[in-house]
Chains A and B, each alone.
Chain A
């Protein structure tokens, strides 16, 4: 059973059409939740770290929020250059601090 689940697996948006990506986790005890962006053929690029419920972080058209069992990555008025795979990773307090990655959401924004 996956500890970190991302949905949807794939998302197609029109330019300017806002939406949200979801990352949920099943293990209790959050050390930190990380969002990354990955472009084809490249390594993941760090976006945000969230540590506690209620925390929010923003960067340009992206806003990450955190509740007790899930995080959302809100994309406002996306542009084609926002097309990428968005990865969520969670580090838990119970064991090693090594983050567990979700499978990612592949986002395509059409002009």
Chain B
């Protein structure tokens, strides 16, 4: 059974640019959540999608957005990148809302 796949694994962007990260959940999982992980703040919840609808949103500025497609794949977008956006972005999928999460290996974003 394939796990959660995140692409790309590494990304280097310049301040002011935008970036799109992709996540393919485990087959059959309809819920996809995104987290930001930094050494200073730990794991911070960004948003959760279920059946193409955003169900929950964390305390992040509007520059962070996401979407989910009909096949449950999800993308998150960060516009106008800032140095502080450098982090490991993790995607997690679960069979339904509130169930245990399976995480991907993450996308390491570096903003220079």
Contacts and interface: CB of A to CB of B under 8 A. Distances in A.
Contacts of B90: 43-44
A91 B90 CA distance: 18
B11 interface: no
Contact of A96 (B6, B56, B92): B56
A97 B97 contact: yes
Interface stretch (B14-22, B41-49, B62-70, B73-81): B41-49
Interface in B1-45: 4, 6, 33, 35, 42-43, 45
Contacts of B100: 34, 46, 49
B105 interface: yes
Instruction: Describe B's contact surface by its main secondary structure.
Output: strand
B56 A98 contact: yes
A96 B105 CA distance: 25
Contacts of B45: 98, 100
A31 interface: yes
A104 interface: yes
Chain B CB within 10 A, most for which of A36, A43, A44, A91: A43
B48 A44 contact: no
B73 to A, nearest CB: 17
Interface residues of A, number: 23
B104 A103 contact: no
A87 B103 CA distance: 13
Contacts of A99: 101
Interface string A57-92: 000000000000000000000000000000101010
Contact of B43 (A45, A49, A87): A87
A97 B90 CA distance: 18
Interface of A: 31-32, 34, 36, 41-46, 49, 87, 89, 91, 96-104
19 contacts: A41-B105, A41-B108, A43-B6, A43-B90, A43-B103, A43-B105, A44-B43, A44-B90, A45-B103, A46-B100, A46-B103, A91-B98, A96-B56, A97-B97, A97-B98, A98-B48, A98-B56, A98-B58, A101-B42
Nearest 4 interchain pairs by C-beta? A43-B103, A97-B98, A101-B43, A103-B42
